[in-house]
A and B are shown apart, each in its own frame.
Chain A
C-alpha cells in the first residue's frame, strides 16, 4: 500500500507526496499534459524538441544541468504521444535546488538561437540513431500512419518528417511554451525522503508565484472506425523477414484496458507465453515474438511483432499467429494460466514500486488519468479479469477488419 497526500495550489498546480524514509534520496517528477498528439500536423516533433530545449536555460538560470549536478542530483526526461515528463533524483538535503530549477523553467525559458540550432541537430541525430540506422527501425514509422488516418497518433513523437524539426523557429517554440507549459497544466510528484509539510512549503514558495496560464484547449480529431484490413509490404535488405500486426483498442481509461493487458501477457508475458511457447519453441517459425498494448490515453493499439526463422513463409507464420490468438477463445479452462499472469503482474508491480522514481512517475501519470489510487488498485483490477472477459475481448478486438499488418520482407539471398 503506497500512501500519498495530494494538494493543489491556487494557480492550478497539482502535487502528490509519498514519503519513504528508507532512502536518503528524493525523486521529483513533473508531468506536463502535452505530447505529440497536441502538435500541428504541419509542425510535428515540436513537443519532443521542446523537451530538449527545456535544458537550455531559463529566465534566472543560464543552464539547468550544472547546478543540479553541483548538488549531486541527476535528471532526465521523456516525451510520448500524450505527455512530456521530467524527473530528477537528489540527496534529500538538497531538494530545494530541485524546486528552484523546476520552477524557473516553468516560469519562463530563455534559450538562444544557437541552442535551438544545436538541439535540432541533436534531435536529427537521435532520429538517425533510433530509426534510420537500425534494421527494422523504420517499421514503427510506417505502422502509425497505416493504423491511424486522422488522429495525431498517426505520427511518431520524434516527428512525421525531419524537415519539421529543421524548420522549427523561435516564434513557434515560444508560442508552444506559453500554450502548454503552465502550472495549471502540470502535475508534480515527490517521493522518498520528504514529508508533506516540507513538500507543501517548498512548492508554495517556488511554484506559488507562477501565474495560471491560458492553456490551449485540446480538440483532437477522432479516429473513425476501421472498416477493412490494411496491409503494407516493405522489402528491404534485412537479415530476416519480420511481421507486424496491430489492432485498435479503446482509450487508457476504458473498462477493457486490463483485460487486454492480460491478454497480451497470456500471449507474450515471459518465456512461458503462448506465442513464444507455440511459435518459437514448438513450431520454430519465429526467432522472437512479442505482444503488448500501448498505454495511450486516447484509443491505442495492441501490437504483435516477430522475426521469422529462415525460410519460413510470412503468410504461413501469420496464420499461425492468428491461430494462437483464436486459441484464447477455446472452451478449455485456462485457470492456471490466468493465475500465472496475475501473479506475475502483482510481482512486477511490487518490484516496480521499490523505486522511488517509478513511484513518482506513476503517481503523476495516474493523477493525469484522474485516478491516483490506481497505484494501489491496479493489481486488484487486473486480478478481477475473468476467462469470459478474455474470450469476449478477444472476439471483439482481434478481427481482420480492425487490423493493420506490415510484411517486412527480407530481400537477402542466403
Chain B
C-alpha cells in the first residue's frame, strides 16, 4: 500500500452565508412579532423583550429586581405554582435584565405553546410585588453579591463600566450594600407599569413553529393595553471618569484581574464590521495576538480576550484577563505593545487570511439552528438593523485588507483614551 502523504487536504472557501429571513407581523395592539422557522425538532424558543434594562433605572438594582420579581408570583399563581407548572411542562425559562433591554426567554416543546403563553402573560403582565417576597429576594441577592465581590474579575468589570460610562449613568453605576434595602413594592410596580408595556415590547419566535402560534399570541397578548404614563427624561449623561487608571487593592488574591478599554462606535456605524475583524486579530479568538503572546508564548495566564460590544447609546471595547500578581505589569505593558504594533505595522497576508477564514466559519455557526438564528436576529434588530448588516459583515470579512486594519487601529484604538483597571493585592 502506498504510504499516506500527511499534508493538508485542499482548503475550500466558505460557502456564501444564506440567512433565513424572519417573517414579521403585528398583534392586534401593534406589538411586533418576528418568526423564524427552522430546526428539525418540534421545539420552540420564544423571547419577550422590553426596553426595560438598566438604562431606564434611577436606582441601582431596580431593573434587575423588577425582572427577577416577575416569576415570584402573579395575580393568579403563586411563585411555587408558576415554577412547578413550568417545570411540569419541561419549560426552560431564562429571565434577564441587561443594560438596554430586559425580558424573558422560554424554551419548550412546541405542543405546550398554549400553556407557555398563558403563563408568560401572567409573568409579564400580571405580576405582584409583595413586600415580604421582595425582602426575601433582596436578602438572597445580597449574599450572592457579597460572594461575587470576592472575585477580582467582578470587581474589575464593575469598576471598568463606572470608569468608562461614568458613575452617574445607569450603564456605569456600581451596586453597593445599601442599595439592597431600597427596593420597595411601589418602586418596582412603578417601574413595571412604565416599561413592561405592549408599546415597549417585541416577540421573537423561532423553531418548528406550532400552527397556532399567531392565533395564540394574539389571544394572550393582542389586547394588552399600554397605560399612558408620563415618563420624564432622565437627563443622564454618558461621560467617562477623569481618572484613566484605577487600581483596587484586594488583599490575599493570587491573581490580578485586568480590564483595559474604552467606549467606541456601535453596530449602527459603518465601520463596525471592520472593527469586529480588528478586534478578532487583537484578542477575539484562540489564534489572536494577545492569546498567542500572553498565553501561548509567555504562559502568564489561562486566558486573555478582547471584545467589542454594542449598546443603544454607545459601544465599548474591552480587553480582559486574570494573571499572576508577578506578571501583572508585564502583561499590561504587552497589551499596549500589541496595540501600538497593530497601529504601526500592517498585518501579514497570512494572518489576514487566517482571521478572514476563521470569521467566515464563525458566521456559519452564528446562523446554525433555530436558537442561534434567533439570537443573531435579535442582536441586529435591537439596533434597527436586519440581515443586511450580516451580509455587510460577511462582505467585509471577504474583502478587508491589511491597510484597512492599520487605519481602523489608528482610528479606534487611541491609547490616550483607554481606561485601565487592575484588581489585585499590593
Point out residues on A near B: beta carbons under 8 Å.
20, 22-25, 59-61, 65-67, 69-74, 89-91, 93-94, 96-97, 99-100, 103-104, 107, 117-123, 125-126, 128-129, 132-136, 205-206, 209, 237-240, 269-272, 277, 280-281, 284, 287-288, 307, 309-310, 336, 339-341, 343-344, 346-348, 350-351, 353-355
Report yes or no: B92 in contact with A134, Cβ–Cβ below 8 A.
Answer: no
**B307 within 8 A of partner (CB):** no
**B253 within 8 A of partner (CB):** yes
Additional A-B contact list (10), CB under 8 Å, known A25-B365, A270-B87, A287-B143: A23-B369, A61-B6, A91-B14, A104-B6, A121-B298, A240-B143, A280-B140, A344-B87, A344-B88, A354-B41
Interface string of B295-314 (1 = CB under 8 A from A): 11111111000000000000
**B108 within 8 A of partner (CB):** yes
Nearest chain B CB to A62 CB, angstrom units: 12
Q: Which of B24-32, B356-364, B376-384 contacts A (4 or more CB under 8 A)?
A: B356-364
Nearest chain B CB to A352 CB, angstrom units: 11
A335 vs B286: C-alpha distance in the bound complex, in angstroms?
49
A133 vs B279: C-alpha distance in the bound complex, in angstroms?
28
A391 vs B391: C-alpha distance in the bound complex, in angstroms?
58
Report yes or no: B8 in contact with A97, Cβ–Cβ below 8 A.
Answer: yes
Interface string of B140-166 (1 = CB under 8 A from A): 100110110111100000000000000
**B12 within 8 A of partner (CB):** yes
B364 proximity list for chain A (CB < 8 A): 24-25, 72, 91
**B235 within 8 A of partner (CB):** no
B87 proximity list for chain A (CB < 8 A): 269-272, 340-341, 343-344
Report yes or no: A354 in contact with B43, Cβ–Cβ below 8 A.
Answer: yes
**B287 within 8 A of partner (CB):** yes
Q: Which of B48-56, B76-84, B192-200 contacts A (4 or more CB under 8 A)?
A: B76-84
Report yes or no: B324 in contact with A128, Cβ–Cβ below 8 A.
Answer: yes
Task: Supply 23 A–B pairs (Cβ within 8 Å), ascending by A.
Answer: A24-B368, A69-B285, A73-B361, A74-B358, A96-B10, A97-B8, A100-B7, A117-B299, A122-B295, A122-B296, A122-B301, A125-B299, A128-B324, A134-B151, A238-B147, A272-B84, A281-B80, A310-B139, A310-B143, A343-B89, A344-B88, A348-B92, A350-B41
Interface size on B, residues (CB 8 A): 72
A66 proximity list for chain B (CB < 8 A): 287, 354
Indicate which residue in A72, A97, A100, A117 contacts B14 across the interface (CB closer than 8 Å): A72
A307 vs B89: C-alpha distance in the bound complex, in angstroms?
29
A65 vs B14: C-alpha distance in the bound complex, in angstroms?
18
Known: A72-B357, A96-B9, A206-B4. A20 touches B301 (CB 8 A): no
**B105 within 8 A of partner (CB):** no
A336 vs B285: C-alpha distance in the bound complex, in angstroms?
47
Known: A20-B40, A133-B253, A133-B255. A344 touches B90 (CB 8 A): yes
Nearest chain B CB to A353 CB, angstrom units: 8
**B15 within 8 A of partner (CB):** yes
A350 proximity list for chain B (CB < 8 A): 41, 43, 109
Known: A71-B11, A281-B79, A347-B90. A288 touches B144 (CB 8 A): yes
A100 vs B88: C-alpha distance in the bound complex, in angstroms?
46
**B187 within 8 A of partner (CB):** no
A117 vs B298: C-alpha distance in the bound complex, in angstroms?
9
**B3 within 8 A of partner (CB):** yes
Known: A72-B358, A72-B364. A97 touches B11 (CB 8 A): yes
Report yes or no: B358 in contact with A69, Cβ–Cβ below 8 A.
Answer: yes
Residue of A nearest to B291 (CB): A65
B89 proximity list for chain A (CB < 8 A): 343, 347
Report yes or no: A70 in contact with B90, Cβ–Cβ below 8 A.
Answer: no
A299 vs B39: C-alpha distance in the bound complex, in angstroms?
38
Residue of A nearest to B285 (CB): A69
A118 proximity list for chain B (CB < 8 A): 296-299
A346 vs B42: C-alpha distance in the bound complex, in angstroms?
13
Nearest chain B CB to A387 CB, angstrom units: 17
Report yes or no: B4 in contact with A69, Cβ–Cβ below 8 A.
Answer: no
**B420 within 8 A of partner (CB):** no
Report yes or no: B39 in contact with A307, Cβ–Cβ below 8 A.
Answer: no
A175 vs B11: C-alpha distance in the bound complex, in angstroms?
34
B324 proximity list for chain A (CB < 8 A): 125, 128
Known: A100-B6, A239-B143, A354-B39. A70 touches B11 (CB 8 A): yes
Nearest chain A CB to B348 CB, angstrom units: 13
